[in-house]
Amino acid sequence: MSDTQAGWYDDGTGTTRWWDGRAWTETVQPPAPPEPGIPGMINRAQADAVSGAQPRPAPTGMSYVVLQVVLKEKFFGTGSGNLTELESVINRQAALGYRLHTITTASSGSTGFGGGDRIQATMVFEKLV
């Protein structure tokens, strides 16, 4: 029995599928047509970064969920909000009945504008039984 609320979720394959509260259904949403030009590319990149951190139930038969979060680069000063973002992702998965199992980070290795770096956090969550 799952305590995950019914709703549209990425099913782990990149497809948005309806979760009925107990299991994945065969109902999927067709992808939106891509927006043209540079604004479309920017919007798609931002949407991908946000959707990677959205809570979702594990695929049928699996007890793990993997999420990736691209952490923001702070150009100047302090307060990028990265720790708050990680805490938010962890708390949203905890509300779905998962605990953080593993977290790894990777750096782009760029110096960025103003000396910042772009970091990607990959988190593996395990279903609490």
Specify if 1 maps to a domain: no
Coil, strand or helix at 52: coil
pLDDT tier, 84 (very low <50, low <70, confident <90, very high otherwise): confident
Residue 55: predicted pLDDT: 63
Q: How far apart are CA 88 and CA 67, in angstroms?
A: 12
- Does residue 93 fall inside a structural domain? yes
If you search the block for the tokens 């949403």, which residue do you land on? 29
Please tell me the predicted confidence (pLDDT) of residue 50.
59
Examine residue 2 and state whether it is found in any structural domain, yes or no.
no
Number of domains in the chain: 1
Evaluate the CA torsion angle 50, 55, 56, 61 in order and state its sign: positive
Q: Answer yes or no: is 100 within a domain.
A: yes
The reported pTM is 0.49
Identify the domain containing residue 94 by its residue range: 7-127
Report CA torsion sign: 79, 80, 83, 84.
Answer: positive
Kindly state whether residue 110 falls inside one of the protein's structural domains: yes
- Higher-confidence position of 89 and 49: 89
